[in-house]
């Protein structure tokens, strides 16, 4: 069974109610139908009922079992969400009313209020806007200052192990994280590795230096992030700063690092910035023929995920 099939089987046990704010996009309609047929989610589409029905008719699919919500008809929810949003942001009610009329904000408020379990958006919206609206409506997980993301990388063969799973973070969102933000990225990625994949996370904060072998401000930032991360969650196995080979190759780690739970066996790799993360995941994807699942958002109070505007139905 591949990774996606295992996720689907888990989700079928208790299908989550997922809201799609871009309900009038053809890909979203097709994906919602597929999700309903597979039985692992209860999709909610936001948008004009007639337009969505027209798309379904063209695709020759049924919308049975899919909740379609036309926002102008949702007067009670709009009022409730506006009150909730105004109170949470300490703003005028009139401004809040305008905000929650936007499908993305309405979807976020559905998640915040518990009327949906998660939100998927981005096929017709810029990533920065999805993150901004999700931050304003759903909010961030306690103890986190910014959202970030991770990829699940499945390498066909590594060190004699088939389908070796790694977590790469952050490869899509945080451009130049501070030491605090980098620490949060690592801790969140480790916790998600355990929650999603049942991995025993061994978190390596990567650098061009191993344990002070080089002296530079960038190295210092990573070292500071390691200390912050250990304080954020003392129960996680965390180490750094480590070079890539010292993180995942036992032979190299034995020469460069002493007394580490992580060096040589890391499965959660935290990159110092978006340049490093984005370049590395793509190199591994194509040079090692690895499967890359993501980006998966993290750091929000409740589940939300951003899709590429080039996403296919299967991607969604």
pLDDT in tens, 132-163: 999 999 999 988 999 999 999 999 999 888 99
Provide φ and ψ at 55, rounded to 5°: -65, -45
C-alpha to C-alpha distances, 151 to 77, 141, 240, 275, nearest whole angstrom: 35, 19, 20, 15
pLDDT at residue 103, as a whole number: 93
Residues 6+ apart with CB under 8 A from 181: 145, 146, 148, 174
- 100-104 long-range contacts, CB within 8 A, separation 24+: 101/71, 102/133, 103/21, 103/22, 103/23, 103/46, 103/47, 103/71, 104/21, 104/129, 104/130, 104/133
**Structure token pair of residue 139:** 């909010």
Query: pTM value?
Result: 0.87
Segments of the chain assigned E as strands: 16-20, 41-46, 67-69, 118-121, 148-158, 161-169, 202-206, 237-242, 268-270, 291-298, 304-306
Run of H or E residues at 134: helix 127-137
Instruction: Tell me the domains of the chain and their CATH numbers.
Output: 3-139+302-306 (3.40.50.10950), 148-298 (3.40.50.10750)
pLDDT at residue 223, as a whole number: 95
Query: DSSP letters of 233-292?
Result: -TTSEEEEEE-HHHHH-HHHHHHH-SS-SSTTT--EEE-SSHHHHHHHHHHHHHHS--EE
High-pLDDT (> 70) share of the chain, % = 100
pLDDT at residue 192, as a whole number: 94
pLDDT at residue 166, as a whole number: 96
Task: Output Rg (C-alpha) for the chain, integer angstroms.
Answer: 21
pLDDT at residue 18, as a whole number: 95
pLDDT at residue 1, as a whole number: 59
- Stretches in the chain below the pLDDT threshold 50: none
| Euclidean distance between CA atoms 235 and 167, whole angstroms | 18
Which residue in the block uniquely carries the two structure tokens 């969140």?
A: 188
pLDDT at residue 204, as a whole number: 96
pLDDT at residue 125, as a whole number: 86
């Amino acid at each position: 069974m591949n990774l996606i099939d295992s996720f689907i089987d888990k989700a079928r046990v208790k299908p989550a109610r997922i809201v799609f704010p871009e309900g009038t996009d053809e890909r979203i309609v097709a994906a919602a139908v597929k999700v309903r047929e597979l039985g692992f989610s209860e999709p909610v589409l936001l948008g004009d009922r007639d337009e969505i029905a027209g798309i379904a008719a063209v695709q020759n699919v049924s919308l049975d079992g899919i909740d379609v919500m036309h926002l102008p008809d949702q007067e009670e929810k709009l009022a409730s969400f506006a009150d909730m949003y105004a109170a949470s942001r300490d703003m005028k009610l009139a401004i809040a009313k305008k905000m929650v009329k936007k499908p993305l904000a309405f979807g976020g408020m559905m998640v915040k209020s518990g009327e949906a379990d998660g939100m998927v958006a981005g096929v017709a919206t810029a990533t920065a806007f999805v993150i901004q609206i999700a931050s304003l409506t759903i909010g961030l997980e306690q103890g986190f200052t910014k959202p970030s993301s991770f990829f699940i990388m499945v390498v066909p063969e590594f060190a004699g192990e088939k389908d070796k799973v790694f977590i790469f973070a952050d490869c899509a969102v945080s451009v130049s994280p501070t030491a605090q933000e980098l620490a949060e990225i690592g801790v969140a990625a480790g916790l998600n590795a355990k929650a999603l994949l049942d991995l025993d996370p061994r978190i390596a904060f990567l650098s061009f230096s191993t344990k002070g072998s080089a002296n530079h401000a960038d190295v210092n930032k990573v070292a500071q992030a390691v200390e912050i991360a250990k304080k954020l969650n003392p129960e996680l196995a965390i180490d750094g700063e480590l070079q890539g080979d010292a993180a995942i190759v036992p032979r190299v780690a034995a020469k460069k690092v002493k007394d580490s739970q992580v060096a040589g066996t890391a499965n959660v790799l935290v990159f110092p910035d978006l340049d490093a993360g984005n370049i590395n995941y793509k190199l591994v994807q194509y040079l090692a023929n690895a499967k890359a699942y993501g980006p998966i958002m993290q750091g929000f109070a409740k589940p939300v995920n951003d899709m590429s505007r080039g996403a296919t139905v299967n991607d969604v």
